[in-house]
Structure 1
Amino acid sequence: MRLGWLRKRKLSSAALILALAIAGCEAASDRNNDSAPSGRNEAISGENVVIGMSLATLQEERWLKDRDIFIAAAEALGAEVQVQAANSNSARQIAQAENMISQGVDVLVIVPHDAAATAVIVEKAHAAGIKVMSYDRLIKDADVDLYVSFDNERVGEMQAEAIVSLVPEGSYAYIGGADSDNNAHLFKQGAFHILQPLIDNGSIRIVYDQFTEDWVPDNARESMEEALLANGRIDAVIAANDGMAGGVIQALTDQGLQGSIPVSGQDAELAALQRIVAGTQAMTVYKPIKKLAERAAELAVRLALNEPVATDKSVHNGKGNVPAILLDPVMVDRTSIDETVVKDGFHKREEIYAGAE
């Protein structure tokens, strides 16, 4: 257990007391592990724990929420969080993580920009005795200590189920996320679990299928323009997240087609919910970020303290099975906004419905 060695050097007596207290907690955890495998029913103190949080980007609404909720939850446990955002640049993310490792953080929580490139961070962290949590997005080809996310294949299934219910036959465009992001592949796998039987029986034709560099909405808009130009008619669009759905809908609006072609999304962004109310976006997938970030903050502290973290799932990342905790996503359309994102306080009702009622 590292416990922020930069500060511990100045607090050797306090650190000794803390270490003894933690040892007692670990013994209690071992005794109670069968009845409380996640350790969530036991008190935990993150005092003197320093968490390094490496984010791929803060350019989307949801990542700002993740950051703020995670920090608040970690600080409530007594931990300190150092945050760096790479602005969708793998080299920058690796350099930022290396800096946090050199500063002596106790655990790294990483949202990878590039699932494969960030494997080097895990290797360097482990060489320094630092555990690594892969947050929301899976790091590939590395011995990741813990993966905390949502069931991302189920996200893709929800997107496809919603669009198929509206357009059971016709020409589909699939506009996926970044090829470098493992989640984008999981979303697509989930969507095609639903689409493939309909493709096989001839009900649906996939006339356009592209990943989107860096999840950039303008790139999604350009893809939609290409799809319309190449095919003339598109009956439905599965867009992998809300930002890209916005780009797709802009391309449709330019052609006077907004609202006539169902478009999926994900992340329950405010702008997306406003589009759903307006009728230009069919649905989104709400991932209760508060549950994810709070759970991850607690587990990060436990990793830093070398406490056991039990999981009932694992995900293969190309190198081995990574222990995983996967939360359930929630489908949201016009009929379920109030009982989901509004009820949870994720967005305010008056902001979602502004100008619509």
Structure 2
Amino acid sequence: MILKKLKRATALVGVLVLTTGIFAGCSGGTTNKPSDANKGGKDDEIVIGFSMDTLKEERWQKDRDTLMARAKELGVKILIQAANGDDNKQIAQAENLISQGVDVLMVAPHNAEVAATIVEAAHEEGIPVLSYDRLIKNSDVDVYVSFDNEKVGELQAEYVTKLVPKGNYVYIGGAPTDNNAHLFRKGAMNVLKPLIEKGDIKLVYDQMSKDWQPSEAQKHMENALTANKNKIDAVICANDGTAGGAISALSEQQLAGKVPVTGQDAELAACQRIVEGMQTMTVYKPIPKLAETALDVAIKLAKKEKVETNGTVNNGKIDVPSVLLEPIVVDKNNMMDTIIKDGYHPYEEVYKNIPEDQRPKQK
């Protein structure tokens, strides 16, 4: 879909619009675009638009909630719309945000390539674009705020190869349309490739999962088990959702908890699986840190202030100025010192399936 000049308001059908402290369902109608004299909102209030891929996953709900709370603290307005995996809807929602005269547009793209049209449209209106957690490919996006996603894959592979230095490995990746999924895999292969070439590890299955769907990951794991007569020694899954799908398939063969499985995102269900011994590890990317950093950067863009970055990431067109945060390995041994200590998930929820006399003591 090619974006047209965005001097009009876009009609939205069934779109969830989230603003700071407000949840409003829109059904058609025309949005009111601020006049040029008051583009930033009341009393020149900074207005930030955020076009999200999805709110179906727990982690993205955390992003939304943190951003809304942080925006309220800082006295800025944030308009959030989620497309739930629909490229056309995400573009229409971005059009809507642009037409409202936002000062900055943040985008967590569903499709890294398609979202380049959003950047172009925003720039036509003089609106800078921040690529949030997922890199927008082949565009002149202004800044990228995320974690070192290649490092995430390296951490997963390093962890599991220490447990299982030899054997049959399965890699279950994320969405092919998500650039992060390719970075996770690249990082994992940085570690696995020398061991594969040495002959210690055999990569017997290697597939991506459409839209990060756990059901896709489960099918991949079932296929891998069937093709290798259940002789699988380790599974690297790109995130916790795909890990959950893989573990479901392993459970059917009474192998859950016996075959190491990695994940990422520190979702509550994954943390529960880890303390129960079903999942081996996850990579914790503190979402509050990401959201707060991104919002601070967005405000600087709105004010046309200098943004301090700590690297660049090539998106196929330019080296994008980037703020990259450090991911953290979490397993059963440091759950208390990371997830629980940070208040990311409640102690009672993480350990709810563990008998009280077997739970670690809270400090």
Q: 1:79 to 1:173 in 2, by over 3 A?
A: same
1:224 CA displacement = 0.5
- Give 1:6's aligned residue: 34
- Give 1:289's aligned residue: 287
Alpha-carbon separation, structure 2, partners of 1:91 and 1:254: 38
- Give 1:204's aligned residue: 201
Tell me the alpha carbon deviations over residues 32-56 of structure 1, each in whole angstroms, 9 at most, x when there is no partner: xxxxxxxxxxxxxxx6111111110
Alpha-carbon separation, structure 1, partners of 2:182 and 2:289: 23
Instruction: Number of aligned residue pairs: give it.
Output: 322
Work out whether 1:223 is the aligned partner of 2:220. yes
Alpha-carbon separation, structure 2, partners of 1:11 and 1:246: 45
CA contact (8 A) 1:50 1:106 kept: yes
Q: 1:52 aligns with which of 13, 37, 49?
A: 49
1:254 CA displacement = 1.2
SS at match of 1:6: coil
Q: 2:160 aligns with which of 148, 163, 170?
A: 163
1:5 CA displacement = 7.1
Which TM-score applies when normalising by structure 2? 0.86
CA contact (8 A) 1:74 1:298 kept: no
Q: Considering only aligned residues, what root-mean-square deviation do their CA atoms show, in Å? A: 1.6
Tell me the alpha carbon deviations over residues 309-342 of structure 1, each in whole angstroms, 9 at most, x when there is no partner: 1213111100011000000000000001000111
- Give 2:96's aligned residue: 99
Aligned 1:1-357 pairs, distance under 5 A = 6=34, 9=37, 48-232=45-229, 233-357=231-355
1:227 CA displacement = 0.7
Alpha-carbon separation, structure 2, partners of 1:140 and 1:181: 10
SS at match of 2:140: coil
1:9 CA displacement = 3.8
The one-letter amino acid of 2:280's match is: A
The one-letter amino acid of 1:320's match is: I
Structure 1: segments with no counterpart, 5+ residues: 16-46
Q: 4+ runs of 1 displaced by more than 6 Å? A: none
Identity within the alignment, %: 57
CA contact (8 A) 2:312 2:322 kept: yes
Alpha-carbon separation, structure 2, partners of 1:110 and 1:52: 8
Which TM-score applies when normalising by structure 1? 0.88
1:75 CA displacement = 2.1
Alpha-carbon separation, structure 1, partners of 2:56 and 2:150: 24
1:10 CA displacement = 6.0
Alpha-carbon separation, structure 2, partners of 1:79 and 1:5: 17
1:7 CA displacement = 6.3
Alpha-carbon separation, structure 2, partners of 1:194 and 1:238: 12
1:230 CA displacement = 1.0
